[in-house]
Chains A and B, each alone.
Chain A
Amino acid sequence: GQQVMQIPQYQHVQEGEDFTTYCNSSTTLSNIQWYKQRPGGHPVFLIQLVKSGEVKKQKRLTFQFGEAKKNSSLHITATQTTDVGTYFCAGPIDQGAQKLVFGQGTRLTINP
């Protein structure tokens, strides 16, 4: 089963409201990646976090990697309709394994 958990599964907001999705891993991660998938589209890379406690910003998006490197969050300030989609976190779960394991995603819908 999934070893990377995301909450919430769904989030509906009014345009202009903030949005946060949380990602938790059962094991320590060497890095965590975030992807966005628009409805009907494919996952598109947003960012990678590597360091413990790292915070990175992309315009209205703020990404954080936990101190223990087992959790991460994505926060969007003042959502816009272009933010609609599903946000996935992904990490290499097993030391030495090559696979990137994805969370089940948080689907964001926005009321304009």
Chain B
Amino acid sequence: GAGVSQTPSNKVTEKGKYVELRCDPISGHTALYWYRQSLGQGPEFLIYFQGTGAADDSGLPNDRFFAVRPEGSVSTLKIQRTERGDSAVYLCASSLIGHRGELFFGEGSRLTVL
């Protein structure tokens, strides 16, 4: 595709539910990032993939958060037992050469936990 695609654009769920957020990066980009952005804050790093493997998952806040990228392209961020504090915009970005290069961000998935 022309850019990074994220679905859903909006997700409203109840506390305790499970959610999946999907990211389809730019074709050919081997590096993929997940960030979380709360209102008025900068993007907060969650996890970075180089190819299929999670090269750095140090930003995942706890074990309720998990992300996969099984074929080195599409990635899914999975959040178990959602809490109200998980409400934020989840941004996906892809890059040709990781943190040494430009990140292309998707429009984000806005998650609201009631």
Contacts and interface: CB of A to CB of B under 8 A. Distances in A.
Chain B interface: which size bin?
20 to 34
B107 A42 contact: yes
Given A43-B91, A98-B48, A33 B43 contact: no
A43 B43 contact: yes
B100 A97 contact: no
Interface string B49-91: 0100001101100000000000000000000000000000001
Give the interface SS of chain B, mostly helix, strand, loop or mixed. Answer: mixed
A13 interface: no
Give the size range of A's interface with the partner: 20 to 34
B106 interface: yes
A35 B100 CA distance: 14
Contacts of B41: 104-105
Interface in A1-52: 2, 6, 30-31, 33, 35, 41-45, 48
Contacts of B40: 104, 107
Contacts of B99: 92, 98-100
Interface in A71-112: 88, 90, 92, 97-105, 107
A88 B56 CA distance: 22
A45 B91 contact: no
B43 A98 contact: no
B102 A45 contact: yes
Nearest to A41: B107
Interface of A: 2, 6, 30-31, 33, 35, 41-45, 48, 88, 90, 92, 97-105, 107
